[in-house]
Structure 1
Amino acid sequence: MQPDMQAQAAWPYPFWIAHRGAGKERPENTLIAFEHGSACGYAMFECDVKLSADGVPFLLHDDTLDRTTRGRGQADALPWAELAQLDAGGWHSDDCAGEPLPTLADIAAYCQQQGAALNIEIKPMPGQEAATGHAVALAARQLWQGQTVPPLLSSFQPAALQAAQQAAPELPRALLLETPWSGWAAVAAELQCVAIVFQQRRLDASLMQQARAQGWRVLCYTANSAADVQRLRALGVDGIITDAMGWARSPAQA
């Protein structure tokens, strides 16, 4: 099944995408990270979204709370009312202490206020791929209703993307690939993906040609060095996800 070529032609997303809000300069996946990214000139962001114990979509990368909050244990073990009380900034720096975890609704409101686009990585807990993909897609449909540019839904998990496709087929999808695996292109086609997001070190001219032959846009993560950016731009990628906050206002954008 081929992707929607009309949707491909009307690619609405900026080239530079701030990783987890603002890379490493602010606590990842928090509102102050997004605010910092905006101040650095970014008009598109990437973030990770999973579900609380009571089904609220919120931002967190890891399966546990330990690394990026003052909480402990499984990320889906607590209801949102308890997750909302956690300090998600103090691990990064004293200046960010007390910064809470945001919901997807919080980030949607911020992005729309700023006129910024969003790449939502559906980041399910193990065994919750379908449930998370379904819930995140439905939430995104509601939160971006009436907006000109929808969020781009991506995931490493085909089951999450399949559930998102079934729940909100109008929202664009992208398959994330750390290392291309056998049959990935057929899966992406079946999911009617509009883009493939490659680990930047894995992307070469052959993969680029394969993606272009299917009509897919190509994004890469996480490119931070000038050498990596130069190589990817020479390959003709459509977007770069980065931790380096200088690129959005760099001459490399031209």
Structure 2
Amino acid sequence: MKNVLTIAGSDSCGGAGIQADLKTMSALGVYGMSVITAVTAQNTVGVIDVQEIDKKIVECQIRCIFDDINVDAVKIGMVSNSEIIETITNLLIEYKAKNIVVDPVMVSKSGYFLLKPEAVEKLKKLISISHVVTPNIPEAETLTGMKIINEDDMKKAALCISKMGPKYVLVKGGHRCNDANDILYTGKDFIKIKGYRIQTKNTHGTGCTLSSSIASYLAKNYGIEDAVKESKNYITKAIENSFSIGHGVGPVGHLVELYKKAGVDFE
């Protein structure tokens, strides 16, 4: 079995962050491990508060994993401040980590800022050592300083982000550009990863889920294009099988096949 490490924040309602990552990794047949960077108090309505983990504890968690276990891929999600980002970057370089997937989490769906503005430049350094970075439209706009309206803009943003150093860039179009098509830039070519918009409000944790899925497939030795396409299929099915658990934005169906076997009825 392949081992995949997620470095991200904890989501108390279980739909995003560490919890979404571990569910995704389990669903895709890899062993998930975690380094928690922050504890969030949130539910389906929004993020109420965030407690960042001390950088020394973040460092200790990372060293404990790499000193003992072979890590086949690393997914990085919420990393809220400069010190934590710098610590993670330096340690991944030290341990020669492979298959690094950076999901540049900046703002929650409810509008809560999860990345401090002064940490954006440090985040770009982390992006520079990644195998692939997976920004959505708002995140790509923040990283590039450009407005993204259409598919051509997505390509321009991908090209701009690629100059920061990642091997591959995946700009996700689901927020507003098109019918949920994504653009993968390989350093040479632009590949359209086709999707379709699903009419549901329950999309909590989609970015976390997609990036941890990509990390899982990379760990299993998939090439980047196949890893992204398989992950697109996975997240699409998860959104199709999303469900309501509260008054706001519900989670996607990370473990829908397991739930079906258990006889769960979401109606």
TM-score (norm: length of structure 1): 0.43
TM-score (norm: length of structure 2): 0.42
